[in-house]
Amino acid sequence: MLVMAMATILGITTVAASPASASAYSCTGYGYGYSWGYPSQFCGQTIGSGTYVQTAGAGFSAPIAWAGWLSNTRVRAEFYNNAGQLYWSATSSQQNGGSAVGAWKWYLYRYMQSGYVKYTLLSNGADIASVYQRIG
């Protein structure tokens, strides 16, 4: 409090350091439309602060249905520590049949280890696309 009062008297501006953030959003293209400039996209989003993660989720969408049509889709979320060791993972429920859009979300509300999360889009059990995001 005394430091803030002195800074105000002396006309010095102080800025508090922002905390490390676990929040991230990233996307990657996949599918036939990718080579023509109309990529279907797979995106992952992690919401939290520091190593505390509130939600983790991912989804896919295709601007041209036939270019990004997938069947029996799921998303896998895998959390790795800084040593590259997998310590938490989950696989979503399956979206049966075919679709050009889909999304899943996990409510974690917990502290995770510093490292990264990998979201993977699966179609008929095969890996289609992955995105990585830093934690901590």
Residue 7 has what pLDDT?
35
Domains with residue ranges and CATH for the chain:
41-94+101-135 (2.60.40)
Closest to 116 in 3D by CA, of 60, 75, 56: 56
pLDDT at residue number 104? 97
Q: Please state whether the predicted TM-score (pTM) of the whole model is above 0.85.
A: no
- pLDDT tens over the chain, length 136 residues: 333 333 333 333 233 333 345 689 999 998 876 667 778 999 999 999 999 999 999 999 998 877 889 999 999 999 999 999 999 999 999 999 999 999 999 999 999 999 999 999 999 999 999 999 999 8
How far, in Å, CA of 36 to CA of 24, rounded?
Answer: 28
